[in-house]
Amino acid sequence: LAKTTQPISMDSYEGQEVNITCSHNNIATNDYITWYQQFPSQGPRFIIQGYKTKVTNEVASLFIPADRKSSTLSLPRVSLSDTAVYYCLVGSRGGSGYALNFGKGTSLLVTP
């Protein structure tokens, strides 16, 4: 199982770019990297997913180096509503335990 390590918490001001890095040293060949956002008393919400290099969607970018042992979620110009816990998960359908790897997550606090 690919264990993930993230910073416990991060603080940012509104309008700044926030980068959250996740370490997953023993990621398997078939594993994808997926990031989720969770607000209090809500289920996690999918943000972005990638396998290698860079992926961008309307809310975030995901940077994955060639060795895939880490990944960085980039949130451009955060707002107060981006205050949430962000989880990095590593796994793949058909692989063992791909739903297990919820680490402690990163609690992001955005202030004015």
**Which residues contact another protein (rule: CB under 8 A)?**
31-32, 34, 36, 41-46, 49, 51, 87, 89, 91-95, 98-100, 102-105
Nearer to another protein, 43 or 112 (CB): 43
Nearer to another protein, 1 or 78 (CB): 1
Least gap, CB of 32 to another protein (angstroms): 4
Tokens 């690919």 map to which residue? 2
Contacts of 36 (CB under 8 A, 6+ apart): 44, 45, 46, 47, 86, 87, 89
Least gap, CB of 85 to another protein (angstroms): 8
Nearer to another protein, 9 or 79 (CB): 9
Least gap, CB of 100 to another protein (angstroms): 5
Least gap, CB of 15 to another protein (angstroms): 27
Tokens coding 47 = 């943000």
CB 18 within 8 Å of CB 81: no
- Give the DSSP letter of residue 44: -
Q: Is 34 helix (H, G, I), strand (E, B) or coil?
A: strand
Nearest to 108 by CA among 68, 64, 73: 73
Nearer to another protein, 11 or 14 (CB): 11
